[in-house]
Amino acid sequence: MFYLFKIELNKINILGMFLILAVSLGWIMVPPARGETVAHKKSLKKMTRKKNVVDIRLLENRISALEKEANQLSQTRLNIVRQLDDVNQSINQRRLRVSLVSQENNEITREIKRLEKKQKAVINTIDQNRSIVGERLCALHRIRGTGSWSLFSKPRSLFDFWKRQQTLTVILASDVDLVKKQAADLKKLEQTTLLLEGEIREKQRLDSRLNLEIKALENQKAKRQALLAEVKGKRALTKAAMVSARKALVKTMQSLKKSSLSSDDISEKKSPARKWKAEKGLFLSRRGRLPMPVDGHILSKFGTRIDEDDKTFTFQTGVDIRVDMGEPVKSVFRGEILYADWLKGYGNLIIINHGDNYYTLYAHVEELFKQKGDVVEDREVIATAGDTGTVRGPYLHFEVRHHDKPMDPLKWLKKGA
């Protein structure tokens, strides 16, 4: 029995040793004391809090970096738009210069043709006069050599013979002087023609140089447009440019309105009779009956529209009319030119005052035929259509405004016009 008890005791000792070994090796998890559990939870919360603070700082830094990048993109976009506007203005100036040079060449060519015609007439006259002088010289030679007056009536006396001879000599001298003068005139005409031909060659060289400059600027414009597309895309940039342009337009119109009012006061003091005076209510009475300012089709209408690309809303202050380059642009109603110059975002712009604070605007035109202060009549040609200040090709942006508020032009234009 004692032997059996000893065996059981040995079993218990072995089991105890096994349990101690298991606990020490982590095979059996011994629950921590209560104080140790609370400290562990606090430690976990502290670690989580620190991680959240780090994450927030990282996010703030990321947001700050993104905002900085967005600002840089906006600035880059704005710079490109400004550069494009400058390039467009340079192209427009050179196109106008080419047009002027072409007109001057045409005038010089017409002058050369007129001089050539005059030269031919002078040459014919000289030939005729030489023939007459030759005949008279022969006659005088025969008279002096033989005393014969076969071409004239017989002289009554020796004095009469001498007098006739002297008269013929004077006539011949006058004829010779005339021929000499005509020869001098012919030489002068030839010299003038040579000068004009030299001027034409110089203008042709200028024309070639201007065309090369236009080509280089067009290439520069294409590169700017490609860069523009890389930064944000033409659509977003056009909207950004138009926001800036509308602000500039409102500011310009307010300034023009003030200057117009002050100049009106001055002109009325100087002269009671003005070139043009608005008739009250007349422009308003033409609502719905105004003609189209240019031949073309409506590209975009007045009002709010959604941008399908970035799902944003934009407001169109007028109508865009697709046109052919150089198409004549006409005033829709009589009035006075308030503005005719370059305006950033609008290219070459004409603003006409029709009275009662009503204005019409014609933007992106090529060549301006009117200047500030000119009076225009209904459907008078004021410019040619172009693509100044735009990257969309040739089109006319047309607006109707009352004070500074844009109105729907289609409600003013005649339907089917």
| pLDDT, tens only, 360-415 | 999 999 999 999 999 999 999 999 999 887 767 899 999 999 988 999 999 999 98
Minimal CA–CA distance to 237: which of 44, 76, 87, 401?
Answer: 76
Q: 292: helix, coil or strand?
A: coil
Distance of alpha carbon 31 from alpha carbon 41, whole angstroms: 14
CATH number belonging to domain 237-411: 2.70.70.10
Tokens 């390039």 found at? 87
Distance of alpha carbon 374 from alpha carbon 368, whole angstroms: 12
Long-range contacts, stretch 109-113, CB < 8 angstroms, 24+ apart:
109/200, 111/196, 112/193, 112/196, 112/197, 112/200
Show the tokens assigned to 212: 């090369």
pLDDT of residue 265: 46
Least confident of 105-114, 176-185, 256-265, 384-393: 256-265
Long-range contacts, stretch 158-166, CB < 8 angstroms, 24+ apart:
165/140
Mean pLDDT of 173-180: 71
- 351 near 256, Cβ under 8 Å? yes
Task: List where CATH 2.70.70.10 sits in the chain.
Answer: 237-411
Q: Select the more confidently predicted residue: 49 or 387.
A: 387
Q: Which CATH class is domain 82-230?
A: mainly alpha
417 Cβ contact list (under 8 Å, min separation 6): 290, 291, 292
Whole-structure pTM over 0.85, yes or no?
Answer: no
Task: List where CATH 1.10.287 sits in the chain.
Answer: 82-230
Mean pLDDT of 163-189: 72
pLDDT of residue 286: 94
What amino acid occupies position 47? M
Least confident of 201-205, 225-229, 240-244: 240-244
Q: What is the largest CA-CA distance in the chain?
A: 207
Q: Select the more confidently predicted residue: 78 or 381.
A: 381
Q: What is the pLDDT of residues 19-37, one digit of tens each?
A: 555 545 454 445 555 556 7
pLDDT band at 206 (very low <50, low <70, confident <90, very high): confident
